[in-house]
Amino acid sequence: MKRFAMVAIGFAIAASAWGQAPETAAPQTARQALIEMLFSKNPGTFMKHLPEATLAAIAKSGALTSLQGYSMLATQFQNEAQRKSFQTFETGPVLMTGVSQQSGDKYDVIVDNDSIQGDTDNITISFHTYKGEQLQRTPYMPTLTLAMKQESGVWKLDVVSVTISVPLADPDFLNRITEGMAKAQSHAATALLSQPQARVSVTSFGSDTQVLSAMRTILAAESAYSTTYTSVGYTCTLSDLDGFGAADRNEHQAMLIPSDLAGGRRYGYSFTLSGCTGNPASGFEITATPAGSSFGRRTYCADQAGTIRYSNDGNPATCLASGLPQQ
């Protein structure tokens, strides 16, 4: 009789469990996505949380392999960090905490603000160091605001903003600044006395590799821009590709290249866009011309096809007309 009762109870429990609906997993929060992106053991999660426009631009530039390599490196860092005193938190005021095995110092990443509005979540974090239980003061107080935005139901890292507070009246800060200035002046005076005939070079030219990298950045940005703003097509205004600003991205602030490059002058070169004909514009031309003295410097150019060419006479018109392909 007891055995029958136990069997009956077992069937009743099984029937009850069978009739219950399976629990639905809670959707991933922006903070969970950020932790997964930066600290996951899976190399693919880093790129999973990058915007599609970013991945498309990187793939167009041929740098996707390098990004995948960074993703693998971040994974190795995460595996090593987990073997040490390292922990992340999906809720609460602390995002990450760790202890250095060498110095015993404690490091905290604190969530100062987590503001979600619709499909955007702005997470502001700051960094704190402790020796023993004593918080270490620093004259520079950096904070990061990581704007996460949903694309197709997945949280993506959309914008990274860096803020550095410099307390100009702080005694520690003033001492460090004045001591650094005194040392710099002393070293400069020593160098001038030891080499009285030395001349200081004021050449501001970057290397050809840097100029070519800037060209490829603009070419990739144009490709992403024309794909995103199909009614505009390509743009001949560098500032339209600018990478920073307080407002949301739009056709006049696409947030695709750094502001210094969007200004048109970098590495001693002037970068110019032209040839955007049609509505939407179906093509464009870009030139990189040496600023000031052009002796011995190449002029570079390209169009929407993406092939970079060069000429040795410093004339952008020559490059566009008969430039040789850059190997």
Confidence bin at 108 (pLDDT 50/70/90)? confident
Whether the CA torsion 224, 227, 228, 229 is positive or negative: it is: positive
Question: In sequence order, what are the residues at sequence separation of 6 or more whose Cβ sits closer than 8 angstroms to the Cβ of residue 89?
Answer: 95, 96, 97
Look-up of token digits 């710099």: 184
Alpha carbon 195 to chain centroid, angstroms: 42
What residue type is assigned to position 22 of the chain? P
Question: In sequence order, what are the residues at sequence separation of 6 or more whose Cβ sits closer than 8 angstroms to the Cβ of residue 189?
Answer: none
| Mean pLDDT within 281-293 | 88
Average predicted confidence (pLDDT) for the chain: 78
Find which of 49-53, 63-67, 164-168, 321-325 is predicted with most confidence, using mean pLDDT.
Answer: 321-325
Work out the burial of residue 192: count CB atoms within 10 Å of its CB; fewer than 13 is exposed, 13-18 middle, 19 or more buried.
exposed
Share of the chain above pLDDT 70, in %: 71
Q: How much is the pLDDT for 140? A: 63
Confidence bin at 205 (pLDDT 50/70/90)? low
Q: How much is the pLDDT for 47? A: 78
> Using an 8 Å Cβ cutoff, are 176 and 184 in contact?
no
Q: How much is the pLDDT for 196? A: 47
Residue 224 has pLDDT above 90, yes or no: yes
Q: How many angstroms separate the CA atoms of 209 and 326, rounded?
A: 11
Question: In sequence order, what are the residues at sequence separation of 6 or more whose Cβ sits closer than 8 angstroms to the Cβ of residue 106?
Answer: 97, 98, 99, 100, 129, 130
